[in-house]
């Protein structure tokens, strides 16, 4: 896809800005906050839209994410794409694990262990709990995936809303800064040799594919955080992936699915 075509798609579908979730789900978020305030331990619920997926949730997810999970609105497009494009037996590498429900779902579909690269240490227990609850295998790599091998460690920014933690700061937001070990994306791909790469790293995707991959996963799911990195950086990323041999074949909201020419043949 050309830069112009991608920017046209962004504008046509209104992807330049995030929806106002606080306004859309105000009542649900308030109800979730009251429930979590009185919760001791965790609560297990069935995902309302993904059959067979269960979730082990506690107060650490926050009222907004808890509300969206209960409504089936959190990562809904991602689940739809995984169901449509993942196949049994495929090896999945996920950069940015969140609370672990996407990794658990991918492991259910593929029947294989999913490797999750997640530098936020506060999420590791949640990720393991989702895997255990759903009877699947997930392996956590606590490093931060980067586009180069320039530094052995990097500053990672923890936000009180866990899903907004990132290597990139947003203006006006408060973070706790920690140091985490890094791993170059090419080293990861060469070591794991996944069939599928999933990327959801809160804007840091714009610098991830600067070098030509040594190993090309046949399938690539990448959340392009257009409102965070802007149209130009987003279009640059897609153009770079096109040069690496990928074609954009499907998307839901900000999650885009690419395939190599060999996979499409």
So where are the chain's domains? 3-17+74-264
Beta bridge partners of residue 254, listed in sequence order: none
- pLDDT band at 226, cuts 50/70/90? very high
Cβ atoms of 36 and 66 within 8 Å: the answer is yes
* pLDDT for 67: 93
What separation in angstroms does the CA of 246 have from each of 71, 238, 265?
A: 34, 9, 12
- C-alpha 214/C-alpha 193 separation (Å) is 9
- Asked if 28 contacts 70 with a C-beta cutoff of 8 angstroms, the reply is yes
Whether pLDDT at 224 is above 70: yes
Type and span of the H or E element at 191 = helix 185-192
In the block, residue with structure tokens 């040069």:
243
pLDDT over 70, % of the chain: 98
Q: Which CATH superfamily is domain 3-17+74-264 in?
A: Vaccinia Virus protein VP39 (3.40.50.150)
Query: 138: closest CA among 174, 168, 84, 102?
Result: 102
User: Quick check: 265 pLDDT over 60?
Assistant: no
Q: Which two tokens stand for residue 175?
A: 């973070």
Task: Give the pLDDT band of residue 263 (cuts 50, 70, 90).
Answer: low
Q: What is the β-pairing status of strands 196-199 and 92-95?
A: parallel
CA angle 95–241–247, rounded 5-degree value: 105
- 116-168 pLDDT tens trace: 999 999 999 999 999 999 999 999 999 999 987 668 999 999 998 887 899 88
Q: Which two tokens stand for residue 183?
A: 């791993």
| DSSP E strand boundaries for 62-194 | 92-95, 114-117, 138-141, 144-146, 153-158, 176-184
What's the predicted TM-score (pTM) here?
Answer: 0.95
In three-state secondary structure terms, 56 is strand
């Amino acid at each position: 896809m050309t830069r112009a075509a991608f920017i046209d798609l962004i504008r046509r579908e209104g992807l330049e800005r995030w929806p106002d979730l606080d306004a859309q789900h105000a009542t649900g978020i308030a109800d979730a906050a009251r429930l979590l305030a009185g919760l001791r331990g965790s609560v297990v619920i069935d995902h309302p839209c993904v059959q067979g997926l269960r979730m082990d949730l506690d107060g650490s997810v926050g009222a907004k994410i808890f509300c969206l999970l209960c409504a089936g609105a959190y990562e809904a497009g991602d689940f739809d794409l995984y169901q449509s494009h993942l196949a049994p037996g495929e090896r999945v590498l996920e950069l940015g694990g969140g609370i672990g429900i996407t990794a658990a779902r991918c492991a259910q579909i593929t029947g294989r262990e999913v490797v999750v690269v997640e530098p936020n240490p506060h999420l590791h227990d949640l990720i393991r709990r989702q895997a255990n609850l759903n009877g699947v295998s997930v392996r956590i790599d606590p490093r931060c995936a980067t586009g180069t091998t320039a530094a052995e460690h990097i500053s990672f920014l923890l936000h009180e809303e866990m899903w907004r933690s990132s290597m990139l700061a947003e203006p006006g937001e408060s973070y706790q800064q920690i140091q985490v070990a890094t791993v170059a994306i090419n080293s990861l791909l060469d070591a794991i040799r996944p069939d599928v790469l999933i990327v959801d790293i809160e804007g840091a995707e714009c610098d991830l594919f600067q070098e030509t991959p040594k190993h090309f996963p046949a399938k690539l799911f990448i959340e392009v955080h257009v409102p965070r990195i802007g149209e130009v950086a987003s279009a640059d990323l897609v153009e770079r992936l096109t040069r690496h041999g990928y074609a954009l074949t499907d998307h839901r909201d900000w999650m885009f699915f690419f395939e190599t020419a060999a996979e499409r043949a």
